Structure 1
Amino acid sequence: MTDAPQMTLMTPEDVTAHFTRPDGSFTFARWGRPIVPVVFGVEEETLEIVKGAIEAVVVLAGHKMAETDPELGANLMVFFFRDWDELLDVPKLGEMIPDLEPLVSRLKAAGASQYRAFRFDNDGAIQACFTFVCMSGDMAEQPAESIALAQAVQAVILWGEGAFGAKSPLALLPDGQTILRPEIAALIKAAYDPILPPCAGDASHALRMFARMQIAVPDGETQH
C-alpha cells in the first residue's frame, strides 16, 4: 500500500490567494448547472482518461454531470492540439470565442501551453468552459493522467490566474500514481458547499471556504 501525501494546512490567506486577480481583486465562481463534457483531438483511450478525470473531480465537489445541457448541448469543451493555429480551423469556434485570431496570436507569442475561457449565467455561476491544451514542448511529455486531472481541476472552479503558478494542484505518489493534493481537494469540496453562493467578489468568501475546509476531509476519490 502506498501512503497518501499529508495535507498541507492552508491559511485563510492561502485560500484567498487562489482566487485573487493580478489587480488584487477577489473573484470566485463555481458551476451552477450539471457539467456536460466533450473532448476533441484525442484517441478513444485518452478520451476515457479525460472524461474519467472530470467525473472524479465533479464527484469530489459533490456536483453533478449530465448527458446534455438544454441550452448548449455540451458546456465543458476540451480541445487538444499541437499548434495554436489549429484553433482557427475549428468550425464556428470564432462564434463562441470572441476575437479568436488575436487571442491565438497572443497565446503563441507568450508560448502558452493552455488557456480557458469561461461563460457565466445571470447568477454569476459558471455556465460553460472552453479549455484549450497545446500538446507541444513540456506539455507533450506529461502523462495523459496528469494532464487530464489538472485540466479537470482548473475547469471546475474559476481560479485566479496565479493559483497554481508556483505549485501544481497535483501530487505524485512513490509508485508513480498521480493524485490531487489533499488541500486542493478539500478546497474544492468547500467551494461547492450548497450553503455558499455560486459566485463572490469579496475576499470574505475565502474565510467561509476556509472554515468549511476544516471538516472537508479528502477521501481519495480523485486518484488516477
Structure 2
Amino acid sequence: MTPNYSPDQIEQLFTRADGSYAFARWGRPIAPIVFGVEDETLVTVKGAFEAVATLAGHQMAETDPELGANLMVFFFRDWQELLEVPDLGRMIPDLGPLVARLSAAKASQYRAFRFDDQGAIQAAFVFLCMNSDLAKIPAETLALTQAVQTIVMWGDQAFADMSPLAVLPETGATILRPEIAGVIAAAYDRMMPPAADDKSHALRLFARLQAPVKVEPSEGE
C-alpha cells in the first residue's frame, strides 16, 4: 500500500512562493470548453477532466448558468494568438502585458483562476502553448495533468520536483499518483471548506486521507 503524504508534505502542496498558505476548490459544477484541438483530442481532454472530477466527487455540467463555460482550455502555437480571441481581454486582466511576459519567458503553459465570494473557484483558464516540448507529450498525459492542476488551486511549486502522474511499469499506462488522488478526494470532503488560508487546513486534509485511488484514462478518452 502506498503511504499517504505527511501533514508537512500536504502543507507544501498549497504553499505559495511567499510562504503563505492558499487553497481553493470548485464551488460549482465544472462546465469545460476546449479551443484549438481536433474532435479526437477534445474527447480526450474532456474525458480527463471528467475522470478527475469523478475522483473528487464533484459534478460536471454542460453549461454554467452564469458564465456559459467556466473552464476554458486553449491550445495554440504562439502566445500572440491569445490577443485575437474575442472578449478574452475582458476575462483576463492585463492580457497584453501578460502575453508579452509569457512570450518573453518562452513559457509553455499558464493557468488563471477566478473566485466567488466564499473564495471557491468560480472559473479557470488554461493556456497551453504547443511548443516542441508540450507537443511531445501524449494527449492523454497532457490532459490528465491539466485536469489535476485545475481541480484545486495548488501552490506555486507543488509539482516542480515531481509530476502528479506516474507510469505503471507493468502496462505503461499513465495514472494519477495515489498520494495526489488521496489529497484531492480529501479536499472535496463535504465537511471541508471550499477555500482556506490557514496551514491548519493541511492537518484537516491529512486526517481525511482515504485509501489511494487510481485514475487512468481509458481507451478513446
Q: TM-score, normalised by structure 1?
A: 0.94
Q: Rate the CA distance shift 1:8–1:107 in 2: closer, same or farther, 3 A.
A: farther
SS at match of 1:119: strand
* 1:219 matched residue in structure 2: 213
* 1:158 matched residue in structure 2: 153
Q: Give structure 2 stretches of 5+ with no counterpart.
A: none
Is the Cα contact below 8 Å between 1:38 and 1:74 reproduced in 2? yes
* 1:7 matched residue in structure 2: 2
Once the 2 structures are TM-superposed, how far is the Cα of residue 137 of structure 1 from its aligned partner? 2.2
**Is 1:193 aligned to 2:197, yes or no?**
no
Once the 2 structures are TM-superposed, how far is the Cα of residue 222 of structure 1 from its aligned partner? 3.9
Displaced runs of 4 or more, over 3 A: 221-224
Which piece of structure 1 moves more, 7-16 or 93-102? 7-16
Q: Give structure 1 stretches of 5+ with no counterpart.
A: 1-5
**Is 1:26 aligned to 2:16, yes or no?**
no
Is the Cα contact below 8 Å between 1:60 and 1:222 reproduced in 2? no
| Number of residues of Structure 1 aligned to a counterpart in Structure 2 | 217
Once the 2 structures are TM-superposed, how far is the Cα of residue 223 of structure 1 from its aligned partner? 4.0
Residue 210 of structure 1, aligned match among 199, 206, 212:
206
CA distance in 1, matches of 2:138, 2:160: 19
Identity %: 65
Q: TM-score, normalised by structure 2?
A: 0.95
SS at match of 2:15: coil
SS at match of 1:29: strand
CA distance in 2, matches of 1:182, 1:102: 38
Which piece of structure 1 moves more, 169-178 or 40-49? 169-178
* 1:91 matched residue in structure 2: 86
CA distance in 2, matches of 1:40, 1:208: 37
CA distance in 1, matches of 2:156, 2:109: 12
Matching residue's letter, 1:18: L
* 2:47 matched residue in structure 1: 52
Once the 2 structures are TM-superposed, how far is the Cα of residue 8 of structure 1 from its aligned partner? 4.5
Is the Cα contact below 8 Å between 1:114 and 1:131 reproduced in 2? yes
Is the Cα contact below 8 Å between 1:56 and 1:221 reproduced in 2? yes
Matching residue's letter, 1:54: F
Pairwise CA RMSD of aligned residues?
1.1
Matching residue's letter, 2:211: V
Is the Cα contact below 8 Å between 2:17 and 2:156 reproduced in 1? yes
Is the Cα contact below 8 Å between 1:38 and 1:78 reproduced in 2? yes
Is the Cα contact below 8 Å between 2:175 and 2:215 reproduced in 1? no
Q: Rate the CA distance shift 1:223–1:182 in 2: closer, same or farther, 3 A.
A: farther
Once the 2 structures are TM-superposed, how far is the Cα of residue 109 of structure 1 from its aligned partner? 1.7
* 1:3 matched residue in structure 2: none
Measured against aligned partners, the alpha-carbon deviations of 1:166-201 in whole angstroms (never above 9, x if no partner) come to 100000122221110000000000000010110000
Measured against aligned partners, the alpha-carbon deviations of 1:110-142 in whole angstroms (never above 9, x if no partner) come to 221111110000111000000101110211100
CA distance in 2, matches of 1:212, 1:55: 23
Q: Rate the CA distance shift 1:32–1:222 in 2: closer, same or farther, 3 A.
A: farther
